[in-house]
Chain A
Amino acid sequence: MATFSTNDFKSGLKIIQDGDPCSIVENEFVKPGKGQAFSRVKIRNLKTGRVVDKTFKSGESVEAADVMETDMQYLYNDGEFWHFMEPNTFEQHAADATAVGDSSKWLKEEDICVVTLWNNTPLLVAPPNFVELKIAETDPGVRGDTAQGGVKPATLETGAVVRVPLFVEEGEMIKVDTRSAEYVSRVKD
């Protein structure tokens, strides 16, 4: 079992806490001039996303988490799993609904996603920051209709719903920021 000492602590380090893989967000060394040293850390649970505060005595060791972030191409969804491929090795990984979570609504075949692997199994899937998707359904925009602030809802080919300007029409490709679920622009062919 690989371990880290508190001396190795830095942000981004992946460790196991209560059986779950976690990432150190922040590490603060505290020590009275004459006295015991401690590491006060903020830890993000990579399964739940929750951030908790923890304190370790200096020199304590914690189990290392075999966690890796890898760029992978999204291939397809078989109804139960989302399949990804490492572009260099062609190795394929199947991610379940827990790992994909809300990202599923942005996944378009062939897009490159960041897949976090824990013990070589997908733990988290992050979509690209920007995706280009086709509008599957939206009401025809009426010029001058500003009751909704000049925007209207549009359902994209992947099922995501974003607010778009009135002039955007069904069948058009748009660029969306997946972090805020906001419309960025129309994509010209």
Chain B
Amino acid sequence: MNELSRLIHQRASLADEIRAFFNEIDVIEVTTALLSQAAVTDPGIESFTVTVSEKEVRYLRTSPEFSLKRLLGAGTPDVFELGPVFRNGERGSLHNPEFTLLEWYRQGVVMQGLIDEVVTLIQRIRDGKFSQFRVHQHRYYALFDSVTGCNVRGYCAAELKRLAVDLTQPPNIDMDTDQWLDFLFSTLIQPSFDSDTIHVVTHYPASQAALAKIDPDAPDTALRFEVFVGAVELANGFEELNNAAEQAERFARDNVLRDVRGQKQMPVDRRFIQTLDQLPACSGVALGFDRLLMLADDLPSISKALLVGWFEA
């Protein structure tokens, strides 16, 4: 079998395994819109703009999150979507501007419950290839402390920059607190993760809550988690914020931050915000399908997990 035929089978069989998993736990597959009138405001994610007419542009979704939560807010059962998403400017050995995302939502489930479900899914695929992997769960700030020996909780941008200069070779520019945290996380924390281990990081700084609830027991952190297999970031999840006013405020803050960072402000998804007060208590997570395939079948880069790469498309 040639490489392409093998990859077709690999992608299809991994998707089959995922669908079987959700069938077993009664989560229903849906397909939602790719082109939206509104867009994500997160300064760390750039949407592609599509011209509809002289008067109208739309945005390719960067995840199905808004659509799926609107379904749940309208009273549907638990849902998952396995489909294409688009993020402008992300290209590298682990990034492709268009990729396949698996996203699902569980009503009445708290953050830890969904973390356990993500780990179960990862451990089950490919006849339990990852079933023997150790699972390490850390809180964001405690993890920083254990790797850098520094408690960065409450650090300002200048203090983080000083730490970065002490420990590594950072860019010689000024960045804000979250950008410095991202720098340290990507260049020091993540590379320290052992292979053969599933790392779960929880309680991200409240400034990086995105669409997660703030932890009432530690209000400077959010009920947000990420799952890494070895050093590869695989999934990001939230115990979902279902407070429309608070979410609207965060989106507005995103747009202010975009302005400060010199990025274009994005149109806020009013329909999404309007349904948030009806969103039942739930947790949701997005997992990169192509990265999971890379890890599951030992492919060296994301381009080897795609049937058509960015430069061939």
Checking A28, A34, A55, A56 against B93 with a beta-carbon cut-off of 8 angstroms, the contacting residue is A28
The answer to whether the Cβ of A60 comes within 8 Å of any Cβ in the partner chain is yes
Asked if B169 and A35 make an inter-chain contact with CB atoms under 8 angstroms apart, the answer reads no
Rounded to whole angstroms, the CA-CA distance of A57 and B45 in the bound complex is 14
Q: Which residues on B sit within 8 Å (CB–CB) of A30?
A: 92, 186-187, 190
Q: Which residues on A sit within 8 Å (CB–CB) of B182?
A: 31-32, 35-36, 38
Q: Which residues on B sit within 8 Å (CB–CB) of A38?
A: 171, 182-183, 186-187
Q: Which residues on A sit within 8 Å (CB–CB) of B90?
A: 29, 31, 37
The answer to whether the Cβ of A83 comes within 8 Å of any Cβ in the partner chain is no
Q: Which residues on B sit within 8 Å (CB–CB) of A53?
A: 169
Asked if B44 and A35 make an inter-chain contact with CB atoms under 8 angstroms apart, the answer reads yes
Rounded to whole angstroms, the CA-CA distance of A36 and B91 in the bound complex is 13
The answer to whether the Cβ of B240 comes within 8 Å of any Cβ in the partner chain is no
Asked if B44 and A32 make an inter-chain contact with CB atoms under 8 angstroms apart, the answer reads yes
Rounded to whole angstroms, the CA-CA distance of A37 and B89 in the bound complex is 9
The answer to whether the Cβ of A33 comes within 8 Å of any Cβ in the partner chain is yes
A residues contacting B by CB (< 8 A) are: 7, 28-38, 40, 52-58, 60
Asked if A57 and B179 make an inter-chain contact with CB atoms under 8 angstroms apart, the answer reads yes
Asked if B187 and A33 make an inter-chain contact with CB atoms under 8 angstroms apart, the answer reads no
- A28-B93, A60-B171 as given contacts; A36 in contact with B178, CB under 8 Å: yes
Rounded to whole angstroms, the CA-CA distance of A135 and B94 in the bound complex is 54
The answer to whether the Cβ of B210 comes within 8 Å of any Cβ in the partner chain is yes
Asked if A34 and B179 make an inter-chain contact with CB atoms under 8 angstroms apart, the answer reads no
> Whole-angstrom distance from the CB of B285 to the nearest CB of chain A?
11
The answer to whether the Cβ of B119 comes within 8 Å of any Cβ in the partner chain is no
Asked if A55 and B169 make an inter-chain contact with CB atoms under 8 angstroms apart, the answer reads yes
Q: Which residues on B sit within 8 Å (CB–CB) of A37?
A: 44, 89-90
The answer to whether the Cβ of B42 comes within 8 Å of any Cβ in the partner chain is yes
Rounded to whole angstroms, the CA-CA distance of A153 and B173 in the bound complex is 54
- B178-211: CB near A (< 8 Å → 1, else 0) gives 1100110111001000000000000000001010
> Whole-angstrom distance from the CB of B191 to the nearest CB of chain A?
9
The answer to whether the Cβ of B175 comes within 8 Å of any Cβ in the partner chain is yes
Q: List 22 A-B contacts (CB under 8 A).
A: A7-B89, A28-B92, A29-B92, A31-B90, A33-B226, A33-B286, A33-B288, A34-B42, A34-B45, A34-B210, A35-B208, A36-B175, A36-B178, A36-B183, A38-B183, A52-B169, A53-B169, A54-B169, A55-B168, A55-B171, A57-B175, A58-B89
> Whole-angstrom distance from the CB of B16 to the nearest CB of chain A?
25
Rounded to whole angstroms, the CA-CA distance of A34 and B94 in the bound complex is 14
> Whole-angstrom distance from the CB of B230 to the nearest CB of chain A?
15
Q: Which residues on A sit within 8 Å (CB–CB) of B226?
A: 32-33
Nearest residue (CB) in B for A52 is: B169
Asked if A31 and B186 make an inter-chain contact with CB atoms under 8 angstroms apart, the answer reads yes
Nearest residue (CB) in A for B263 is: A59
Q: Which residues on B sit within 8 Å (CB–CB) of A29?
A: 90-95
